[in-house]
Amino acid sequence: MDKLRVGFIGTGRISDLHALEYLSNPRAQIVAICDINPEYSQPRAAAWKVPSDRVFTDYHDLLALPEVDLVEILLPHHLHRQATIDAAAAGKHISLQKPMALTVVEADEMIAAARQARVIFKVFENFIFIHPFNAPKH
Ligand SMILES: NC(=O)c1ccc[n+]([C@@H]2O[C@H](COP(=O)([O-])OP(=O)(O)OC[C@H]3O[C@@H](n4cnc5c(N)ncnc54)[C@H](O)[C@@H]3O)[C@@H](O)[C@H]2O)c1
């Protein structure tokens, strides 16, 4: 694979930060995006040069694209479980924003789905590196 082809599921506030690295990396390309609200996805499609026929309101349509290798799941928390399970079932590698899930049971289901589908599943936990998390435990 010479280029990692990514689909964004959820193009709200945090998507702009996720897009930065893909846009600046010649080995990556944002090939499709999805948001239930086109007011969020349309301007980003234009800015990120995503063709209009690759802008969706139903993420299942994005998951059906063979050219998507990886999905960035940037959805509200209550949708993380189902979107992750659906992406794994579609054979997509997954980058998911924190918090991973609403419950530990959900988290276990998501890990199991990724394992079964043999896809890479990463949770974006940037705050794990900030001082309070790294402070000595008492
Ligand atoms: N790591 C961090 O520091 C950090 C910072 C901000 C947000 N986040 C996380 O990122 C995720 C997204 O946060 P945000 O601030 O971008 O939220 P947001 O509300 O701005 O964006 C979420 C987007 O999802 C869309 N959406 C909702 N349901 C959908 C569906 N069924 N299909 C497709 N799109 C749908 C909404 O229209 C919205 O545009 C959350 O998990 C949040 O906790 C992490």
The CATH number of the domain holding residue 37 is 3.40.50.720
Number of domains in the chain: 1
What pLDDT, in 10s, does the model give residues 28-62?
Answer: 999 999 999 999 999 999 999 999 999 999 999 99
What is the pTM assigned to this prediction? 0.95
Ligand 1 atom 31, closest CA: 36
Percentage of the chain lying above the pLDDT 70 cut:
99
Tell me the two tokens of residue 97.
Answer: 């924003």
Is the CB–ligand 1 distance for residue 59 below 6 Å? yes
Longest alpha-carbon distance in the chain: 54
For every residue of 26-43, DSSP letters joined together read TTEEEEEEE-S-HHHHHH
122 vs 138: CA distance, rounded Å: 29
Is the CB–ligand 1 distance for residue 75 below 6 Å? yes
**pLDDT of 83 above 80:** yes
Q: Identify the pLDDT of residue 130.
A: 82
Per the structure, the complete domain to which residue 37 belongs is given by 4-134
Q: Where does the chain have alpha helices with state H? A: 15-24, 38-48, 59-63, 80-89, 104-117, 131-134
Ligand 1 atom 21, closest CA: 12
Is the CB–ligand 1 distance for residue 13 below 6 Å? yes
